[in-house]
Structure 1
């Protein structure tokens, strides 16, 4: 878990000056409200983290993949970007 989480957190935290933990990010990517809240680190997860690394993170964090997909779809709808789900 450490490697996948470290890579993901470096990608989503650094550009926004955020300091999310892996658990915090896991909760946010499983919550479609993150899209309507315009949560930049969560959007970064879907836009800037490779789909393979996204899947690894979701798996090691034990997140419900259908919830993550719902969040990605909501970000996609609001932003107009096609995002990996």
Structure 2
């Protein structure tokens, strides 16, 4: 069960890291009545926000790993898949 938890935690972290890199916004747009300004988020703030989502994904993966490990340990050798 411990192996399953570690594996799913790693999967959750990596999958959420990839999704966070794709979908976390790194620009800020300020609209005025005449013009609009676009600024970039500082690198430190961008990395912290990506890591925040990745750690949350790792916790989600950990819970999936607990469930999968619990289901696998509950099976008996005579059960068919």
TM range (shorter): under 0.3
TM-score calculated relative to the size of structure 1: 0.26
Which structure exhibits the higher relative contact order, with contacts defined as CA atoms closer than 8 Å and separated by 6 or more residues? Answer: 2
Larger Rg: 2
From the two aligned structures, give the one with the greater helix fraction. 1
From the two aligned structures, give the one with the greater strand fraction. 2
